Structure 1
Amino acid sequence: MALHRSNLFILIAALAVTHSSCVNLTTLRLAQVVYRHGDRAPMYIYPTDPYKDVQKYWPNGLGQLTSRGMDQQYDLGEYLRQRYDGFIDRLYDRKQIHVLSSDVDRTLMSAEANLVGLFPKLTTFSEGSAGSEGKVDMQLVPIHTLMDSTDKLLHMSANCPRRDEAFDEYENTSPMIQKIREENENLFEYVKYKMGMPAAHEMFTVMKISDILYCQQQHNLTLPSWANDTILEKMRYLSGIEYAMKGGTTELRRLIGGPLVERLMSNMQAETTSQTRESPKMYMHSGHDDTLAALMATMGVFDPQNPGYASAFIMDLHQEESTGKYFVEIFYRNSTEREPYPLHIPGCGSPCYLEDMQTLLAPYIPTDWEAE
C-alpha cells in the first residue's frame, strides 16, 4: 500500500532525526554533557504576586528543585544510559566519568538525580559482583563543585568587572537592542505596573519576569488576567533575545561563555594526545539556563530561546577508523520528551573535524580570563 506523500515525508524526517542522534560507540572517544537543572520554584516574587506566600506555594523555598525537577533529571540520566551504554559501564568506575556542578542546591541535587538514572541500583547486578553487597544499594558518584565566588564556568558568578561593563556597553549601544527596547517600552511599563513595581525599578528584567510566570504556569497555577497568552509569548521571545545577548560581541563570548568552551575543547585535545586510558570517558556538567545560553551563543549555535528544564548540550568526540582524524558531533536536547537534534558550528564541515573547530572557536577562548 503506497504511503501518502506527506506521510512519507514525515516518516523519512523521523528516521533522519533518529539516525542523527544515534551514537557510533566504535568511533566514540569522549562524551561531554552540559545540562540545565530540573524544574524549580521561581527565583523571585513580586508585590502583587498572588502566590507570594512562599511557604504555601513553594514549601522548599524560592529557586529550589521540585520533585518534578528530580524526575526530569532522572529521565535525562536514563536517556544518557541508553545513549552511552557500552561506552560507560553500568557499574560506576571513577576513571570513566567526572561530574562537575555549580555550587547551588538545585544543580547539585539535579546532578544526584541524573546519576541515579545513569547508574542502576546495585541490586540489579548479580550477587557477588563488585559493590553488590551492603546496605546501600544506590551507586554513589562524587559530584565536584566550584566555589561560587570563583565559578567562571557554570554559574558564571566569579567577579569580572570588565564582563559586566562589556555587557552594559553592548546593551546600551547595540542598534538592534535599542530598537527592541523602543518597540516594547509600553509593554515593559505595563507589566511592571501590573506587578506593582515602580516604573524605574530595574530588578525585574524581562528574563526574570518571564521566568516567574513560566514557573507558575508549569505548576498549573492560574496566572493574573493581565498575563494573557499574547503577553506570555512576547515575554518569552524577549527573554530569548536577552539570553542571546551573551554572545553579542567577540569580547562577550570570550568573557561569558569562553571559559566553558575552553574547558570542553581542552578535554577533547587531551583525549587526542593521551597515550593511556587515564582521563575520563565522560565529563558531565550540571548548570543553569545561563550556562547553556552562553555556551551555545559563544559557539554560534544558539537559537534565541529559553533553555528548558533538564535541557542538555551534548558533545561527542569521534575518531575516524580509516584516517585516525578526530571529529566532533554536537546535539541539543531541549526536552526530556524528545530526541536531541544536531547543531552545526558555522563554517565547520560535516564531519566537523576537531582541528577546524579549534580554529573557528579560537577567537572566543580567553588566554587569560582573569587578566582580560
Structure 2
Amino acid sequence: MRSNAKYLVIILAVICLSLGIQRKKLKLLLIVHRHGDRTPWVPYPTDPFNNEDQYWPDGFGHLTIKGKQRMYSLGKYLRKRYDNFLGTSPREAWVRSSARERCLESVTMLLAGLYPPTGRWVWNHQLGHIWQPVPIKAVEFEKDGMLNPDSNCPMAARVMALIDRSPAVQQLYRKYKPLIGFIEQKSGMKIRHYRDGRDLFDTLYVQRQNQYSLPDWVNQTVWKCLRKFHKKAFVFDSSNAAIRRLRAGVILKDMCDQLRDSIDGQKSKHNVFLYSTHDSLLSVLLSALNIYNGIPPPYGSTIMFELYETNCGDDHKTSDGKQQLSPQSQQPIGHRLEVHYLNVTESEKSYLLAVNGCAFGARNETMVCDVKHFLDSLKTLIVDNWNDECKDTYWRRLFRSIEL
C-alpha cells in the first residue's frame, strides 16, 4: 500500500509537470566529479615511454595541462549553468576532495572557473582579479572511505576476491587466455587479475592520447582485448551489493544527510557541495543508484544532484512529518530531485537520469523524482560506521544475529 502511494505521488507530479503548472526553485546542489586528464600511473616493464623526465614532465599519475584546462572549463560551465542560483561568495560552497594530488588540483581549477572573484572578493589588482582561494577538505588517502574507491577496507578486499572468482570473471579469463599469454610476453607484465588488464590498457590509452606511437605488438586485436578488460573492470568492481555499500555508502550517507537537512529547513551556510574523486568511485556510485551504463566515466565526468522547492510535489512534509509552508505565499512546499550526468565535458550536454523514485514528464524532457522515495531506496546502502563495517568482526556479528 505504501509503495502504491509513492507511485501515486510521482504520477500526480508528472501530471502537474505536463500541464505546465509547476513552479520550481533550486534549493541545493550536490556535485560529484572525476579529476581531469592525467599521465599514466606507472609504466609497464617493457614500456618505451618509461622515462618520466623525458616523456612525463608532470610526473606519473599527475594532472596534465589538458587536464587543468578541462577542469577550469568545467568550472566555467557550471557557473554558466547555475549562475542564477550561485552567489559571488565562495563561502557558500563546501568542498571535499580525494587526497590524491590530481583530484586536489582538479577541484582547484574547477573552483577557479566557478568562483572568479567579483566585488568585495577581489583581493588585489593582479591575481586577485582572476582567482581567489577556496577551502578544500581532504583526509588521509588510505583511510578515506568516502572518495577513495581503493581505501584500506579488509571486508571490501574479501568481497573483491569473491568477485574475482565469480563465473563472469572466470569466463573473461578463459576467453582471452591465449591472447593474455602473448600480452604478458610482450609487455613483461603479469596479468593475474582483471584490474591488471585495466591498468595496462589505461597506460596505453594515455600514451595514445598524448600522441606517442604504441609498440607494434599493440595491434587491433590486443587493443580490443585490453579495452574489454578495462570496461569490464568497472562493471565487476560494482557488481556486488556488499561492495556497493562499502564503496559508495559513505558518500551516499553524506549526500542524503544534506538533502534531508535542506528539506527539513535546517539552516546552513552552504548550498553547494562538491566532491572531487576518481572514475571507479563514480562508477560504483552510479551502480548503487541503478543508473550505470557500463561505460567508464571519462575525465571530468560529473554527476549533478539538484534539489528543488516546488508547488507541485510530494506531501509537503519534512522528514518528521511536519507540513512546510512558503514564508511568502503560505502555500505548501514540495520537493523534487533531478539528477544530471555530464559524461563528455566538451559537449556541455548533460543527461537527465531516472534514479529510483523518478518518472519522465511530457516528451521525456523533464523528470519528476520523489525525494523521500529516492532516500528510502538507499537505506540498505547507507553506511553509518564505515571503519566498523570494514572489519570482519562486524559481518560475523551481523550474520550471527540473523541466524538467531
TM-score range, shorter chain: 0.7 to 0.9
CA contact (8 A) 2:40 2:60 kept: yes
CA contact (8 A) 2:195 2:229 kept: no
Aligned partners of 1:85, 1:242: CA distance in 2, in Å? 37
Of 89, 93, 103, 1:92 maps to 89
Aligned partners of 2:121, 2:234: CA distance in 1, in Å? 44
Q: Which amino acid aligns with 1:362?
A: K
Q: How does 1:226-237 map to 2 (within 5 A)?
A: 226-237=217-228
Aligned partners of 1:294, 1:133: CA distance in 2, in Å? 40
CA contact (8 A) 2:89 2:121 kept: no
1:296, distance to aligned residue in structure 2 (A): 0.9
Query: 1:268-305, CA deviations, whole angstroms, 9 ceiling, x for partnerless residues?
Result: 111111243x2411111111112211211111111112
Count of aligned positions? 338
Q: What SS does structure 2 have at the residue aligned with 1:349?
A: strand
Of 274, 277, 280, 1:287 maps to 277
CA contact (8 A) 2:357 2:371 kept: no
Of 36, 58, 61, 1:60 maps to 58
1:92, distance to aligned residue in structure 2 (A): 2.4
**Is 2:217 aligned against 1:222?**
no
**Is 2:301 aligned against 1:311?**
yes
**Is 2:152 aligned against 1:155?**
no
Of 231, 238, 250, 1:240 maps to 231
Query: 1:19-66, CA deviations, whole angstroms, 9 ceiling, x for partnerless residues?
Result: xxxxx9952111111111111110010121110111100012100111
Return 5+ residue gaps in structure 1 as ranges: 1-23
Aligned partners of 1:236, 1:305: CA distance in 2, in Å? 11
Query: 1:204-231, CA deviations, whole angstroms, 9 ceiling, x for partnerless residues?
Result: 6121011101110110111112223343
1:348, distance to aligned residue in structure 2 (A): 3.8
Which residue does the alignment assign to 1:366?
383
Overall identity of the aligned pairs, in %:
29
CA contact (8 A) 1:236 1:306 kept: no
CA contact (8 A) 2:23 2:310 kept: no
Which residue does the alignment assign to 2:372?
355
Which residue does the alignment assign to 1:69?
67
Aligned partners of 1:337, 1:233: CA distance in 2, in Å? 25
Alignment TM-score, normalising by the size of structure 1: 0.85
1:368, distance to aligned residue in structure 2 (A): 2.9
CA contact (8 A) 2:63 2:102 kept: yes
CA contact (8 A) 1:92 1:141 kept: no
CA RMSD in angstroms comes to 2.1
**Is 2:254 aligned against 1:258?**
no
1:84, distance to aligned residue in structure 2 (A): 0.6
- Higher mean C-alpha deviation, range 70-79 or range 294-303: 294-303
CA contact (8 A) 1:155 1:287 kept: yes
Of 100, 109, 116, 1:113 maps to 109
Aligned partners of 1:307, 1:332: CA distance in 2, in Å? 10
1:159, distance to aligned residue in structure 2 (A): 2.1
Aligned partners of 1:41, 1:107: CA distance in 2, in Å? 13
CA contact (8 A) 1:271 1:279 kept: no
- Higher mean C-alpha deviation, range 316-325 or range 252-261: 316-325
Aligned partners of 1:365, 1:184: CA distance in 2, in Å? 37
Query: 1:298-334, CA deviations, whole angstroms, 9 ceiling, x for partnerless residues?
Result: 1111111221111111111122223433222111111
